[in-house]
Amino acid sequence: MQIIPGAVWGLIPARGGSKSIPMKNLTPFVGRPLIDFQILAARSSGSFGRLICSTDHQAIAARCETLGVEVHPRPGHLGADDTPVMDVIADLLEDINEREGAVAECIALLRPTSPFLLPTHIRWSVNALLADAAAGSTQTAAPCPPNHNAIHQQVIDDGAIKFRFPAERAAMGKGRAGDKHFVFGNFLVFRTQAALDQRTPFAQPSIPIEIPFGQGFNLSTLDDVKLGQALLAAGLAELPNS
């Protein structure tokens, strides 16, 4: 696959099917379709030479085209709940490489369900990756609340609740369970060749860009619509167009 050195493209993966919320990517959120906020952040960042949406649904395609986003038709077999996003990425890259002869050195993954992505965080992430030729990706990382730490997680099995990692918890030294941990934030940018070689967009080594916990919010259920609004009202998050 031919690589265009220094080029950075934004990719919005937005399928039409969703079990939690029908047509989730177009769900109204504070007055706009959810997908709009990734597009606003991407445009405002000035980081991308090309912005592409991979979708299998005409309504999503129409919304993206209205906002000036290029649409890449996604094959039907890549629209299932359990379709790995890497398969979607590989399909798009292989198709563009075949038709145009080359693809960007770096691809940013813009998730429509993360409305609090800020242009500043995009620029920080892209610039950090371009500045480090050895890095495979850069990702935003939000601090994990102590009680959400994997060492504290429990599962219910056959009517009984127990720690998910009992051996690791027992072996953990006093106070270590309180060490700072992180969860994936709201943005990922990776080197195309590294992701294809490793078969993951989280290509290693990956550079962390720390963001506030609220900014890493991901909308998954109808209750999350209310939660996202509450985060905004409390001043714990902000929108890219605020």
Strand bridging mode 50-55 / 3-13: parallel
215, 186 in Cβ contact below 8 A?
yes
Dmax over Cα atoms in the chain, in whole Å? 58
Residues of the chain with pLDDT below 50 are none
Please tell me whether the peptide bond between 115 and the residue prior to it is cis, using omega within 30 degrees of 0. Answer: no
Alpha helices of 101-188 — where are they, by DSSP H? Answer: 119-131, 166-171
3-state DSSP call for residue 18? coil
pTM for the structure as a whole:
0.91
Question: Token pair for residue 74?
Answer: 């996604």
Domain borders along the chain are 3-140+184-233, 145-179
Cβ count near 100 (within 10 Å): 10
Partners of residue 190 on adjacent β-strands: 107, 137
182 vs 210: CA distance, rounded Å: 9
42 vs 40: CA distance, rounded Å: 6
Radius of gyration of the chain (CA): 19
7, 106 in Cβ contact below 8 A?
yes
117, 209 in Cβ contact below 8 A?
no
Residue 159's pLDDT is what? 94
Of residues 115, 106, 109, 58, the one with CA closest to residue 86: 109
63, 97 in Cβ contact below 8 A?
no
132 vs 77: CA distance, rounded Å: 36
Residue 178's pLDDT is what? 56
Which homologous superfamily does the CATH classification assign to the domain defined by 3-140+184-233? Answer: Spore Coat Polysaccharide Biosynthesis Protein SpsA; Chain A (3.90.550.10)
Per residue in 47-97, pLDDT (tens digit) is 999 999 999 999 999 999 999 999 999 887 877 777 889 999 999 999 999
CA distances 156 to 13, 146, 159, 164, Å, are: 33, 20, 6, 9
Residue 17's pLDDT is what? 76
